Amino acid sequence: MNILDQLAGHARERVAQAKREKPLDQLQDEALALPRDTDFPFERALKAEGMSFICECKKASPSKGLIAPEFPYLDIAKAYEKAGAAAISVLTEPKWFQGSDQYLNEIASTVSIPVLRKDFTVDPYMIYQAKLLGASAVLLIVALMDQEELASGIKLCNKLGLSALVEAHDGEQLKMAIAAGARIIGCNNRDLRDFSVDIHNSMRLRALTPDNVIFVAESGIHTPEDVKELQDAGVDALLVGEQLMRAADPGAELRRLKGQTASQYRGRREP
């Protein structure tokens, strides 16, 4: 059993426990009672001119273990926003990533930019949860769903006014994402079967993706040169986690990846 299978199995256990505490019909009623944002702010943010950055709040990961022993997640989120992040990704998976629904809820209430719930969605229940937690988008991983489940998940997101970031790792998964109606496709450059990373995977899949689909490269982005290479390949946005979380100043690291010097950053905001 690879790590993705383990993550999915634990997610199913979490959903089963959550349903005992709050039945699905109650959760649905609460989620559907909230306003539906028909403007889809997450998608709108990623369509802005130039490369968009989805910056991640992540305490740990299965491949790297504990990344951020001290985890002032609200300060990190505010630093990302100030440094020009288009959106923030928040891990809510508790076992391997040491994430929390509380992190997402508090960050979404603190920043003005859209927030993605990054978790291992195995049940529609988790999409309703994301809406109630304040997310603007959810992650749907093709490897965890069949075609019908994927299409249904995207439709539910649309119904709730959420964007779906649909993650594919290879050409077959990409075809499934496109057939399901994905408007945002993310390519995970990390193979969760063995944790190997290759940013050229995004370049290969971008070439196979329709131009009208927003394309996000995920994982393995470390330098401004990586950013430029992906931008030249037609990638619209980057999801960056570990590189930022290991930095002493995540905001400054984001500006470095964007190719901004400290003086350029200050000058852009000073009258």
| Four-point Cα dihedral 190, 196, 202, 203, nearest 10 | 170
Please list, residue by residue across 244-254, b when 16 or more beta carbons sit within 10 angstroms of its beta carbon and e when fewer do: bbebeebbbbb
First CA to last CA distance, the chain: 56
201 is catalytic: no
Give the C-alpha separation, 230 to 241, whole Å: 16
Find the catalytic residue in 52, 105, 219, 258. 219
Find the catalytic residue in 56, 81, 93, 253. 56
56 is catalytic: yes
Find the catalytic residue in 43, 93, 167, 242. 167
Parallel/antiparallel/unpaired status of strands 52-57 and 87-91:
parallel
Please list, residue by residue across 192-221, b when 16 or more beta carbons sit within 10 angstroms of its beta carbon and e when fewer do: beeeeeebebbbebbeebeeebbbbbbbbb
Residue holding tokens 């075609």? 147
188 is catalytic: yes
58 is catalytic: yes
**Phi, psi of 167, deg, nearest 5:** -95, 125
Find the catalytic residue in 52, 81, 89, 118. 118
155 is catalytic: no
Find the catalytic residue in 81, 93, 218, 253. 218
The CA-atom distances, in angstroms, between 154 and each of 37, 138, 139, 268 are 15, 10, 10, 38
Find the catalytic residue in 58, 59, 131, 258. 58
Find the catalytic residue in 188, 189, 201, 202. 188
219 is catalytic: yes
Active-site residues, by number, are: 56, 58, 118, 167, 188, 218-219
